[in-house]
Each structure stands twice: as C-alpha cells, then as structure tokens.
C-alpha cells in the first residue's frame, strides 16, 4: 500500500495574491516545490460552484472556483504531484453538518437537482480532462436501504446508479439512506461514508465501474480524509460481499 502524504492548498492563489511568500532558506520559492521536496505527493483542492455575490464580488476564503482549481492542479502536476478534487456542491464552505444549495439550484425539484448535480460533476471532470489534469481515482460509497437490509455500493466517482440494474441486482428499488440513517445504520456521516469499519450487517458491494483503475480513493470516515487502495486491498478491507454492475456507463 502506498502511503499518501498530502496537503490542502486550495487557498494558495489567494495567499500569493495577498503577497504571501514561501521559503525553505533565504530565497522565496514556489510553495508546491517546497511541499514536494519534503515528501508531499498529493494535493487536495476544494471546488465551489459559484463563490461570488450578485455584484460579482467573491466570498473570499480562497475563491475556489473552477479556474483556480485548474490552475493549481496544473501546478501540482508540473511539480510531480497527484491531486484530489473536493467537490463541495455549494457556493461556499460545506461540511457534513452544513450544506447550502448553490444559488443556481435553489428552486429545483428533486429530479432537477439530481440532474444538475450530475451535469455539473460531468462538466467539471470534462474540464479537468481537457486541461490534462484529471483528478485521482475517487470512489464514492452510496448507501441504500432495502427493507431491513443496509446496502453500501462503492462505485467510480464519475458514474451514477442505474435504477433498473440496481433492482435486478438487489430485488428492489434504489432508496438512499438519509444522513441520520447513514450514521445510525452504517456508522459514518454522509460525505465521509467509508466502505470498511462499518456496523455489523452492512452489505458492501463493489461496482464494475471501479475495474478500470489500478487503485482507487474511497473516503476514510470523514469528508476530508481518504485512502488509496488497490482493488484487491479494497475487497479485503471492505469485506466485500461481491462485485455488482448497477451503474450507468460513464459519459465522455
């Protein structure tokens, strides 16, 4: 297993705009070069949908919009580092206890919101690919309930569940756990649902969408942690019930 040494550098551009300098000796250097010299191999970058008010003023705290993320991702790649994309799905800070719907999505119904989240995620990943800076292999853990069963499906971050395939695999309609139910039945909060160290009785399945990767990055119990695992390691640590094919083909 590869040990990841990482740092969240989402606010670096704002620090530099404000005159911040980084040194490992007398002369200023690129912060990423210093981090890399001391063994940091991964950079986490948070992304906010639209961190600006109606007058075009930014909310501060790093101005983590897509251009900023792509700029820092390129710098990380040029420094020989990988990077992890932290999608907040909000215009500003979000965490397991606070999730403010982006301004552009606030009047959408459930179906509209689902479609908006999917399109936004797809467009962001396509922009990363076009810029030559695809993020690391993010594996998302999707938690469902089927009568008394608690089902956890680990899938690639760029796909969505196919209801027909899910029903064929599990014999019932896909119904996701609420945030409270996720904590109660699995033991982890939404945003950091981990496929291992779960409560007894949780059935863990790996989706076929993961097979195109040598290693993946599932959450490790909180919204700001993850671990890089090979697929055999993930199977072992998650005590996987079996592999399933319950997601739609990815676009692009």
Do residue 154 and residue 78 come from a single domain?
A: no
Do residue 147 and residue 200 come from a single domain?
A: yes
DSSP string over 166-231: HHHHHSS---BPPHHHHHHHTSS-TTS--SSSPPTTEEEEEEGGGGG-SEEEEB-SSTT-B--EEH
Do residue 22 and residue 125 come from a single domain?
A: yes
Do residue 123 and residue 144 come from a single domain?
A: no
pLDDT digits (tens, 9 = 90+) for 209-231: 999 888 887 877 765 567 778 89
Q: Is the pTM of this model over 0.95?
A: no
**Given a cut of 90, is residue 62 above it in pLDDT?**
no
In the β-sheet with 82-87, what is the strand arrangement from edge to edge? 6-8, 42-47, 82-87
Could you tell me if 82 and 5 are in contact, meaning their C-beta atoms sit under 8 angstroms apart? Answer: no
Is there a domain that residue 252 lies in? no
Q: What is the mean pLDDT of the chain?
A: 86
- Taking residue 115's Cβ as centre, other Cβ atoms within 10 Å add up to 12
Backbone φ, ψ for residue 200 (5° rounding): -55, 140
Reported as a pLDDT band with limits 50, 70 and 90, residue 4 is confident
Do residue 119 and residue 206 come from a single domain?
A: no
CATH number for the domain harbouring residue 91: 3.20.20.80
The residue range of the domain holding 144 is 138-244
Number of domains in the chain: 2
Of 136-140, 164-168, 172-176, 194-198, the least confident: 136-140
Do residue 109 and residue 143 come from a single domain?
A: no
Beta strands 22-23 and 138-146: pairing type?
unpaired
Helices (H) and strands (E) in the chain, counts: 7, 11
pLDDT > 90 in the chain, percent: 42
| Residue owning tokens 């640590």 | 237
Do residue 13 and residue 125 come from a single domain?
A: yes
Is there a domain that residue 251 lies in? no
| Residue owning tokens 């800076």 | 133
Do residue 123 and residue 186 come from a single domain?
A: no
Q: What tokens does 50 get? A: 């639209």
Do residue 111 and residue 155 come from a single domain?
A: no
Do residue 120 and residue 149 come from a single domain?
A: no
Is there a domain that residue 45 lies in? yes
């Amino acid at each position: 297993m590869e040990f990841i040494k990482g740092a969240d550098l989402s606010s670096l551009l704002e620090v530099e705009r404000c005159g911040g300098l980084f040194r490992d000796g007398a002369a200023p250097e690129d912060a990423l070069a210093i981090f890399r010299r001391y063994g940091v191999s991964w950079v986490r970058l948070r992304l906010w949908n639209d961190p600006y008010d109606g007058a075009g003023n930014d909310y501060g705290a790093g101005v983590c919009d897509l251009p900023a993320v792509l700029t820092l991702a390129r710098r990380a790649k040029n420094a020989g580092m990988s990077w992890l994309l932290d999608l907040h799905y909000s215009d500003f800070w979000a965490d397991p206890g606070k999730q403010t719907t982006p301004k552009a999505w606030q009047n959408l119904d459930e179906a509209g919101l689902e479609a908006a989240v999917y399109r936004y995620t797809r467009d962001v990943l396509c922009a990363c690919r076009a810029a030559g800076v695809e993020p690391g292999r993010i594996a998302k853990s999707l938690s469902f309930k089927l009568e008394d069963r608690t089902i956890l499906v680990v899938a690639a971050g760029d796909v969505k569940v196919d209801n027909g395939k899910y029903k064929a695999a599990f014999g019932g309609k896909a119904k996701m756990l609420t945030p409270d139910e996720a904590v109660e039945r699995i033991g982890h909060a939404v945003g950091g649902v981990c496929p291992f160290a779960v409560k007894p009785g949780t059935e863990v399945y790996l989706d076929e969408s993961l097979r195109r990767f040598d290693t993946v990055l599932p959450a490790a119990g909180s919204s700001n942690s993850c671990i890089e695992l090979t697929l055999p390691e993930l199977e072992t640590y998650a005590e996987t019930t079996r592999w399933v094919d319950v997601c739609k083909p990815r676009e692009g």
